[in-house]
Amino acid sequence: WEAKLEKIIDETIHEDMRLISGIPPWVQMYFERIEARTGKEIKDVFPNFSLFVQGGVNYKPYQPIFDKLVGKRVPTIEVYPASEGFIAFQDSQIKEGLLLNVDAGIFFEFIPADSFFEENPPRLSLKDVELGINYVIILNTNAGLWGYNIGDTIEFVSIDPYRIIVTGRIKHFISAFGEHVIGKEVEASMIKACEETGADVVEFTVAPQVDGGENSLPYHEWFVEFSKEPEDLEVFTKIIDDEMQKQNVYYQDLIQGNILRPIVLSQLKRDAFVEYMKSIGKLGGQNKVPRLSNDRKIADKLSNFKA
């Protein structure tokens, strides 16, 4: 993988790059390698770079890092492609969400996420969807897919026209104690903490810790790699926990009922997530670290990279 990335840099570093497309964590590594090799900001390496087309993860946590690497704010367009079909795209720099691609050979159905694991969950067509509900998106295509679950969850932010936001993955959640935490909630809480403290985060993931230790309550453990640390890590952690309680009433009830204690933040070494992805053979390409898990498989491995 290292050789592949270096080859890409060799092939592109002297080109007149105007549009760059990719998932943010991969492009971030690409930019960091270019900066390390040249000692320049990306705007000086690619002076005509004027549009970043991105997707696959929530871009907001990456925005400050990209602004710093590039040396200026570059306009972005978010897309929602998949191997199974082109699902949605950003059609406005003002309005929230991505416009659902309803006229391109895909018939969409939606299962309320709360009902997904039932024996016969309802499958709703577009005419039956509602705003603010977390749905699992189901695809039927003229390429032959029938009732296919791509694993993503979405929420409608507009019905006319149909605009969606991606809220996470149906298999990526935390409900070890009945809290039903989803990706949208942890991302919103992290963004809030970064905005209020000026911190920048490279990557993060969250997992439950059922064994809180002797005479201690269980908790959610947040593994965070910073590119710019907050001045006060305790304040940063409290902002996240307060925002999580606002986002998720079940989590709030567990905290206030002394079933859980507030989150524990474990700071990781620089390049911890890169090293972790290398260790499992999934660095680069379209591979992403899950934002949250309902077990400790990822957490236990990341514990080896604590700062």
Phi/psi at 22 (nearest 5 deg)? 165, 175
Measuring CA to CA, which residue among 15, 129, 151 is closest to residue 83?
151
161 upstream amide cis, omega within 30 of 0: yes
pLDDT given at position 130: 95
pLDDT given at position 288: 78
pLDDT given at position 284: 66
In this structure, are strands 163-169 and 98-100 parallel, antiparallel, or unpaired? Answer: antiparallel
Q: Which DSSP string do the residues of 50-96 spell out, in sequence order?
A: -EEEE-SS-SGGGHHHHHHHHSSPPPEEEEEEETTEEEEE---SSSS
User: pLDDT per position in the chain (307 positions), as tens?
Assistant: 667 778 888 888 888 999 999 888 888 888 988 999 999 999 999 999 999 999 887 888 888 889 999 999 999 999 998 888 999 999 999 999 999 999 989 999 999 988 888 889 999 999 999 998 999 999 999 888 899 999 889 999 999 999 999 888 888 888 888 888 988 899 999 999 999 999 999 999 999 998 877 768 899 999 999 999 999 999 999 999 999 999 999 999 999 999 899 999 999 999 899 899 888 887 766 667 888 888 899 999 999 999 8
Give pLDDT tens digits for 215-252.
688 999 999 999 999 999 999 999 999 999 999 999 99
pLDDT given at position 286: 66
pLDDT given at position 262: 94
pTM (two decimals): 0.73
Q: How many CB atoms sit inside 10 A of residue 173's CB?
A: 22
pLDDT given at position 224: 96
pLDDT given at position 88: 96
